[in-house]
Amino acid sequence: MNEDVTNINNIKKFTDQCFDRDNDKSARIVKGILDVSRISDISNNMDGNADANYKTIQRFIDKNDTRASIHRLYNEDSPYIC
């Protein structure tokens, strides 16, 4: 994946538009997701302690309506949805 796209600052610009709170955490989590696939892989790939990152991801998922945030990405005028 293009390093310019997966730069944490670029991801933060995106997550600021998608989430009402915890934007820094969401940017770190999205970066981890883009780099790997499982929650444990994501937590290992994030900066800091892997165990603390795993708990951060779990708490983030519990506290945020991720489904509603993802629906914000939907643009019905788009010719296709990725």
What is the rounded distance in angstroms from the CA atom of residue 54 to the CA atom of residue 49? Answer: 9
Candidates 6, 48, 65, 64; CA nearest to 30 is: 6
How far apart are the C-alpha atoms of 48 and 45, rounded to whole Å? 9
Query: 68 — phi, psi (to 5°)?
Result: -65, -40
pLDDT at residue 79 in the model: 60
| Residue 2 scores a pLDDT above 50 | no
Q: How confident is the model at residue 1 (pLDDT cuts 50, 70, 90)?
A: very low
Q: How many CB atoms lie within 10 A of CB 30?
A: 19
The model's pTM is 0.47
Q: Give the pLDDT confidence of 12-57 residue by residue, as tens digits.
A: 888 888 877 788 888 888 887 777 768 888 888 889 999 999 999 8
